[in-house]
């Protein structure tokens, strides 16, 4: 009888030891998985604000060229690309103090969308000037007043490089 009890205790201890070991192995395995996911997340590509702004500058220029050539389909495409890049600015730089008032750009993009839909070149030029002014307002608010965006009337350039 006593022997029977001892065997039973031994068996229970053995089982619990085994499951403890299994549990430890599982915890180790999961810890490794979490660590590798964390590394993958840290290494994930995150476009810098400057990189996004350079893309925005290109779409701003292409939007102008499309509009003055009355290529409304292309103008509409460029407008949506612009919008997507500003959304990226918000997503990837959510904690940045450099993107204050970024939302000011959306109503102006919507105005442009309307005139592009109407295929109205004169209204397009006016709204494009306002868009450009909005870019510059944001640069001023965010301590980058020296980045002066311009309507690309001369030399195909949409930025003023002179002091």
Q: Which is nearer to ligand HEC, 30 or 133 (CB)?
A: 133
Please work out, in degrees rounded to the nearest 5, the angle formed at the alpha carbon of residue 76 by the alpha carbons of 75 and 82.
90
The 10 Å Cβ neighbour count of residue 163 is 5
Q: Which is nearer to ligand HEC, 72 or 149 (CB)?
A: 149
Query: Residue numbers of the site for ligand HEC (CB under 6 A)?
Result: 49-50, 53-54, 56-57, 60, 98-99, 102, 105, 131, 135, 138-139, 142, 144, 147, 149, 159
Residue 91 Cβ vs ligand HEC, minimum distance, rounded to whole Å: 13
In the block, tokens 């220029």 appear at 61
Nearest alpha carbon to residue 151 among 122, 137, 130: 130
Residue 74 Cβ vs ligand HEC, minimum distance, rounded to whole Å: 17
How buried is residue 55: exposed, middle or buried, by Cβ count under 10 Å (0-12/13-18/19+)? middle
Q: Which is nearer to ligand HEC, 4 or 50 (CB)?
A: 50
Q: Which is nearer to ligand HEC, 56 or 66 (CB)?
A: 56
């Amino acid at each position: 009888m006593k022997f029977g009890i001892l065997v039973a205790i031994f068996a229970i201890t053995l089982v619990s030891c085994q499951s403890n070991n299994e549990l430890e192995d599982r915890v180790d395995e999961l810890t490794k998985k979490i660590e590798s996911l964390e590394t993958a997340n840290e290494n994930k590509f995150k476009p810098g604000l400057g990189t996004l702004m350079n893309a925005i500058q290109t779409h701003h220029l292409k939007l102008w060229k499309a509009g003055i050539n009355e290529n409304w389909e292309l103008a509409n495409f460029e407008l949506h690309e612009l919008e997507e890049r500003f959304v990226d600015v918000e997503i990837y730089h959510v904690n940045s103090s450099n993107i204050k008032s970024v939302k000011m750009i959306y109503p102006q993009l919507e105005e442009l969308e309307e005139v592009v839909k109407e295929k109205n070149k004169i209204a397009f030029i006016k709204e494009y000037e306002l868009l450009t002014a909005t870019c510059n307002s944001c640069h001023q608010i965010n301590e980058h007043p020296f980045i002066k965006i311009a309507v690309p009337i001369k030399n195909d350039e949409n930025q003023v490089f002179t002091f």
